[in-house]
């Protein structure tokens, strides 16, 4: 899938008050801003036109824009965050996406966060997690089925989002943690399995002809190099402290 655009949102001054289960110390605003700017540069270097939205200080997690929508070539599905403090972020994104796509919406009692949704071609993996419930996943399945997608629901209990554990390298290969590597739904894919102590690095981001990965995970980097994948490493230390990674900082389409 080739992307031509991305939407990002500047981290707010309040960003360190966002939700996190990581115990990695306090997150630093200046460093987060610098890392976010480097991320935007990487998206532009990959050929994307990047629309940068203003910070939304009332929502400290709002720069994790991936969670509030699912965008495909056919439409944009406005999500319904499972995390109560994040509910409302999706309303900020609605008018932005309405300029690019027809909209559909996840409705109550469904909850869904985009971090749980991994489309690969016309297949779409949906994590059922503490953030995305089965009702939300089934709603998305129905919406996408009308556009020819075949969805697979994957229950994920041990981590925040599906894409904390599983991401595409190409249409045929994925990076995956040991926890999901044996899942039957992934049987057709070539798998690059991250070591348990490098699990954070499973959140790689494929952007056209390149793969972004977090800096500091040499064994995954070497495996990707050995597989002939060109990677660009980015320092993600501050987003990581807030349980975020490469995929969650943008919507690509
Ligand atoms: C949250 O807990 O919702 C944010 N602090 C992190 C969201 C990360 N999103 C993602 O991986 N898609």
For residue range 26-63, what is the model confidence (pLDDT) as tens digits? 999 999 999 999 999 999 999 999 999 999 999 999 99
Query: Ligand 1: distance of its center to the CA of 226 in Å?
Result: 30
The Cα–Cα gap between 158 and 147 comes to: 31
54-73 pLDDT, tens digit per residue, is: 999 999 999 999 999 999 99
* 159 Cα to the center of ligand 1, angstroms: 11
Position 51 scores a pLDDT of: 98
Domains and CATH numbers, the chain: 5-15+26-252 (3.75.10.10)
Distance CA 146, CA 77 (A): 13
161 is catalytic: yes
> Which pair of tokens denotes residue 149?
């997608």
Residue 234 CB partners (closer than 8 Å, separation 6+): 35, 38, 39, 42, 212, 213, 214, 215, 246
Select from 82, 248, 251 the residue to mutate for testing ligand 1; criterion: most ligand atoms less than 8 Å from CB: 248
Is 1's pLDDT higher than 90? no
Active site residue 124: no
């Amino acid at each position: 899938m080739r992307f031509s655009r991305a939407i990002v949102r500047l981290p707010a001054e309040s960003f360190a008050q966002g939700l996190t289960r990581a115990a990695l110390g306090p997150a630093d605003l200046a460093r987060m801003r610098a890392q976010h700017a480097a991320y935007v540069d990487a998206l532009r270097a990959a050929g994307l036109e990047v629309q940068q939205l203003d910070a939304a200080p009332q929502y400290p997690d709002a720069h994790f824009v991936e969670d509030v929508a699912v965008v495909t070539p056919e439409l944009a599905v406005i999500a319904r965050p499972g995390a109560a403090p994040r509910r409302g972020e999706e309303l900020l994104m609605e008018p932005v996406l309405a300029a690019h796509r027809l909209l559909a919406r996840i409705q109550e009692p469904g909850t869904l966060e985009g971090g749980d949704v991994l489309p690969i071609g016309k297949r779409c993996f949906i994590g059922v997690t503490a953030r995305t419930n089965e009702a939300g996943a089934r709603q998305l399945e129905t919406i996408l089925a009308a556009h020819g997608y075949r969805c697979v629901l994957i229950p994920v209990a041990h981590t925040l989002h599906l894409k904390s554990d599983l991401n595409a390298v190409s249409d045929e290969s994925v990076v995956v943690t040991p926890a999901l590597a044996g899942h039957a739904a992934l049987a057709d894919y070539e798998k690059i399995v991250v070591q348990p102590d490098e699990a954070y690095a499973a959140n790689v981001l494929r952007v056209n002809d390149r793969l972004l990965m977090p800096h500091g995970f040499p064994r995954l980097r070497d495996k990707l190099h050995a597989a002939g994948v060109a990677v660009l490493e980015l320092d993600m230390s501050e987003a990581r402290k807030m349980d975020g990674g490469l995929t969650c900082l943008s919507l690509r389409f």
